[in-house]
Chains A and B, each alone.
Chain A
Amino acid sequence: EVQLLESGGGLEQPGGSLRLSCSGSGFPFSSYVLTWVRQAPGKGLEWVSGMTGSGDDKYYADSVKGRFTISRDNSKNTLNLQMNSLRADDTAVYYCARLRLRGYGMDVWGQGTTVTVSS
């Protein structure tokens, strides 16, 4: 079964750091662009970051550029999101999602992990 599973969410203070991980299974992990998408409470979906299968290209939304770092370890089928200088408006459910090989549609999603930034 094709699956993505996020972990690492939790409660952190403003200015703190968290590291999210996404474990993939059931598909050739290194072949796919993977992304992070978040949904803040009461808000819509927001694309956060993405990375090509090889790791050569990384992309970030302006709202997280300079604070978040995406990485992946294809030998472990794992995608990571290092989140530094956290702010209250980073509070959200964070989803890991796989892009189709063609067409930029995100066809496989994890169940999400919740990040709460609060003092």
Chain B
Amino acid sequence: QSALAQPASVSGSPGQSITISCTVTSSDVGIYNFVSWYQHHPGKAPKLLIFEVTQRPSGVSNRFSGSKSGNTASLTISGLQAEDEAEYYCSSYAGRSVFLTFGGGTKVTVL
């Protein structure tokens, strides 16, 4: 059982906005603001989209944004495009004993 719970799937039409949630279920993880988000296309390396909950690395489209409310972090994709169809994972630092953990992943489908 992952310490980070994500919905299995989210879908939207081109141009719409969608939001993927990542709920922290472990107190070991919840005290840190080190949530990251990754995009993973099959057969390719994962790509970092967001770090430290809201920060976007250089080169990542501003259509991707991160936020957090209470024990739930969220990734919002604005202006959904066909190329956004992929698996999305949240991840968090979880303390020295666990170090890092991933959510179960969310399949995004562009209708």
Chain A interface (Cβ < 8 Å from any Cβ of B) = 35, 37, 44-47, 50, 57, 59, 61, 95, 97, 100, 102-107, 109-112
Chain B interfacial residues counted at CB < 8 A: 27
One digit per residue, 1 when the CB lies within 8 angstroms of any chain A CB and 0 when it does not, for chain B 81-111 equals 0000001010111001011111111000000
**Given the interface contacts A59-B99, A105-B51, does A45 sit within 8 Å of B57 by beta carbon?**
no
- Residues on B with C-beta less than 8 A from A46 are 102
Chain B interface (Cβ < 8 Å from any Cβ of A) = 34, 36, 38, 40, 45-48, 50-52, 55, 57, 87, 89, 91-93, 96, 98-105
Contact in complex: A44, B52 (CB < 8 Å): no
The binding surface of chain B is classed by DSSP as strand
Contact in complex: B102, A45 (CB < 8 Å): yes
Residue picked from B50, B96, B98, most chain A C-beta under 10 Å = B98
